């Protein structure tokens, strides 16, 4: 496979930055992700530019050309030019030395050579530079590794990952994103350096893990990069080799989870939400902590969904993930093992309970719950995978209920708070909500019609008791 970048593919705003710096007497190249993705024919990455111009000169030249400039990282020689709403990072050639915190260089030295700058980068596929006239600069055969579909460190892989432990996760993320294999020496270094992730800030770990999960290839990472994932997320370790001692299961907890993660992607058509992907990884994380064995030697995990939700909350908050992801993810973990029958009442109860925890998200969460349940069934022993067929029946009912706009929230009821006040009198207050919740419970359970007359009669009947 041959790769080629058409000069015309470089965005005009990036070309303007290059031209401005070079008209000022300096050298400049496009580097990093844009070059890699352009060679792969993938949608363009944000454009980064490297130059031998000191950052002060970059600022002077760009401002003189009426280009908006922000000093975003001058300690590392980086400024950001903004053209047509597009940011272009401009960084002075540099080398780095000393990584006492295993993340940030102790010192940064600015240099004149693009070759020196490329030598400090992590992976060969990220250590290329491009210029629309001079062409591709590829001192570490990154283009060849794209052809071979390999992730390879620049230079000594152990040194590369020892300098910055977060590069361990970055390498896995790129392998997962591109579907590449990891070159053997690089793989060995990944395993050797993975323990150093313990020294990296948890929010940085969370960012990289999210990137890996977002590729949809988490099952691959769990299978081939287990030591890296366990170092990044130690809470997974108790699942490895934890036998379930149950006729329902033929895998240990970690292998079962890997099967569920893969099945979730399959059932979601490769477009699972991030909350569903995280939930598939964490859904059984509570099992090793709730294990009991009965007198017959059969294992049980009573309360593991609730315990798993609590553990998941601690993990996801530690990783600094947004609450908008955490809250629904916890519900998916909590509900993945909850019994749901192929009946109208059972499905409505599920939707109502989901809405009470995540208002406005009950419908998508209900469908995602069924995806996770279906995937969970496929990760069990063969005789028990047929529950996935029952999930299909439940999903048909869910679709019918959504199409009918069936009531599962207080606001779906035929009566309102004003109706309650009119019927019973009294001053507005929390008591009205309590009554409406009671009415909703009766409607969801199928014991009361969703009609105003029936609900008014029920309220009067209840109050007369």
The token pair that represents 292 in the structure block: 């009991």
For residues 275 and 395, membership in a common domain is answered with: yes
Closest CA to 423 of 463, 366, 393: 463
Residue 381 has pLDDT above 50, yes or no: yes
- Residue that finishes a domain, picked among 113, 148, 183: 148
CATH of the domain at 423: 1.10.246.80
Confidence (pLDDT) at 266:
95
- pTM of the predicted protein model: 0.90
CATH of the domain at 196: 1.10.110.30
Residue 115 has pLDDT above 90, yes or no: yes
Confidence (pLDDT) at 1:
44
Query: Which letter, b or e, does each residue of 386-413 get, where b requires 16 or more Cβ atoms within 10 Å of its Cβ?
Result: eebeebeebbebbeebbeeebbbbbeeb
Confidence (pLDDT) at 463:
60
- Residue that finishes a domain, picked among 232, 249, 279: 232
For residues 73 and 111, membership in a common domain is answered with: yes
User: 377 Cβ partners below 8 Å, 6+ apart?
Assistant: 384, 385, 386, 387, 388, 391
Sequential DSSP letters for 26-55: --EEEETHHHHHHHHTPPPPPPEEEESS-H
Name the percent of the chain lying above pLDDT 90.
82
Rounded to an integer, the average pLDDT of 440-463 is 88
For residues 456 and 316, membership in a common domain is answered with: no
SS3 category, 60: helix
Residue 443 belongs to some domain of the structure: yes
**DSSP-derived secondary structure letter, 180:** P
Closest CA to 39 of 191, 149, 158: 149
For residues 250 and 391, membership in a common domain is answered with: yes
For residues 204 and 130, membership in a common domain is answered with: no
CA geometry: angle 306, 276, 401, nearest 5 deg: 90
Q: What is the pLDDT of residues 210-268, one digit of tens each?
A: 999 999 999 999 999 999 999 999 999 999 999 999 998 999 999 999 999 999 999 99
Residue 465 has pLDDT above 50, yes or no: no
Sequential DSSP letters for 346-413: HHHHHHHHHHHHSTT-HHHHHHHHHHHHHHHHHTS-GGGTTHHHHHHHHHHHHHHHHHHT---SGGGS
Rounded to an integer, the average pLDDT of 106-111 is 81
Confidence (pLDDT) at 253:
97
Where are any strands of DSSP class E within 101-228? Answer: 107-110, 129-131, 135-137, 150-151, 181-182
For residues 200 and 109, membership in a common domain is answered with: no
Residue 1 belongs to some domain of the structure: no
Q: What is the pLDDT of residues 299-350, one digit of tens each?
A: 999 999 999 999 999 999 999 999 999 999 999 999 999 999 999 999 999 9
Domains of the chain: total: 4
Query: Per 3-state DSSP, what percentage of the chain is helix, strand, and coil (rounded to 5)?
Result: 60, 10, 30
Confidence (pLDDT) at 386:
87
For residues 319 and 176, membership in a common domain is answered with: no
Give the torsion sign (CA, 209, 215, 218, 223).
negative
Residue 96 belongs to some domain of the structure: yes
Pairing of strands 68-73, 94-97: unpaired
Residue 393 belongs to some domain of the structure: yes
- Residue that finishes a domain, picked among 179, 204, 232: 232
Confidence (pLDDT) at 104:
55
Confidence (pLDDT) at 106:
61
Q: What is the pLDDT of residues 272-294, one digit of tens each?
A: 999 999 999 999 999 999 999 99
Residue 99 belongs to some domain of the structure: yes
For residues 449 and 383, membership in a common domain is answered with: no
Residue 348: how many other CB atoms lie within 10 Å: 22
CATH of the domain at 393: 1.10.3210
User: 408 Cβ partners below 8 Å, 6+ apart?
Assistant: 348, 351, 352, 355, 362, 401, 440, 444
User: 367 Cβ partners below 8 Å, 6+ apart?
Assistant: 395, 398
Domain that holds residue 63: 7-148
Residue whose token pair is 């081939």: 224
For residues 186 and 257, membership in a common domain is answered with: no
For residues 208 and 280, membership in a common domain is answered with: no
Closest CA to 221 of 269, 309, 165, 280: 280
For residues 277 and 400, membership in a common domain is answered with: yes
């Amino acid at each position: 496979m041959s790769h080629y970048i058409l000069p015309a593919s470089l965005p005009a705003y990036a070309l303007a930055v290059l031209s401005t710096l070079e008209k000022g007497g300096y050298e400049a190249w496009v580097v990093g992700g844009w070059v890699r993705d352009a060679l792969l024919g993938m949608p363009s990455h944000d454009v980064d530019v490297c130059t031998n111009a000191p950052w002060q000169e970059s600022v002077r030249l760009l401002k003189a050309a009426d280009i908006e400039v922000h000093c975003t990282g001058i300690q590392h020689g980086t400024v950001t030019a903004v053209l047509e709403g597009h940011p272009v990072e401009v960084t002075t050639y540099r080398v780095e030395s000393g990584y006492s915190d295993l993340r940030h260089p102790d010192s940064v030295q600015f240099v004149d050579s693009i070759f020196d700058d490329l030598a400090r980068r992590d992976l060969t596929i990220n250590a290329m530079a491009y210029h629309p006239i001079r062409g591709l600069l590829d001192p570490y055969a990154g283009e060849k590794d794209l052809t071979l579909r390999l992730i390879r460190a620049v230079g000594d892989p152990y040194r590369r990952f020892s300098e910055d432990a977060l590069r361990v996760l970055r390498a896995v993320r790129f392998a997962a994103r591109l579907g590449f294999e990891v070159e053997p020496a690089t793989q060995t270094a990944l395993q050797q350096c993975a323990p150093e992730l313990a020294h990296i800030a948890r929010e940085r770990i969370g960012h990289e893990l999210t990137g890996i999960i977002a590729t949809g290839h988490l099952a691959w990472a769990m299978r081939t990069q287990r030591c890296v994932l366990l170092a990044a997320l130690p809470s997974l370790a108790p699942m490895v080799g934890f036998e379930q001692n149950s006729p329902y299961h033929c895998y240990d907890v970690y292998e079962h989870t890997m099967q569920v993660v893969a099945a979730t992607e399959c059932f979601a058509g490769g477009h699972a939400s991030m909350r569903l992907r995280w939930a598939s990884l964490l859904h059984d994380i509570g099992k090793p902590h709730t294990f009991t064995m009965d007198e017959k030697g059969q294992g049980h995990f009573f309360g593991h969904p609730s315990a798993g939700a609590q553990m998941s909350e601690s993990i996801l908050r530690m990783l600094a993930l947004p609450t908008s992801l955490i809250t629904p993810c916890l519900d998916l973990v909590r509900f993945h093992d909850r019994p749901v029958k192929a009946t109208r009442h059972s499905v409505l109860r599920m939707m109502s309970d989901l809405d009470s925890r995540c208002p406005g998200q009950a419908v998508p969460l209900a469908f995602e719950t069924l995806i996770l349940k279906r995937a969970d069934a496929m990760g069990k022993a063969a005789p028990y995978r047929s529950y996935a067929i029952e999930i299909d029946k439940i999903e048909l009912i869910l679709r019918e209920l959504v199409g009918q706009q069936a009531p599962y929230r207080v606001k779906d009821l035929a009566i309102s708070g004003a109706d309650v006040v009119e019927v019973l009198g009294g001053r507005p207050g929390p008591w009205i909500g309590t009554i409406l919740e009671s009415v909703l419970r009766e409607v969801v359970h199928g014991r009361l019609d969703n009609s105003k007359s029936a609900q008014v009669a029920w309220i009067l009947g209840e109050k007369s008791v």
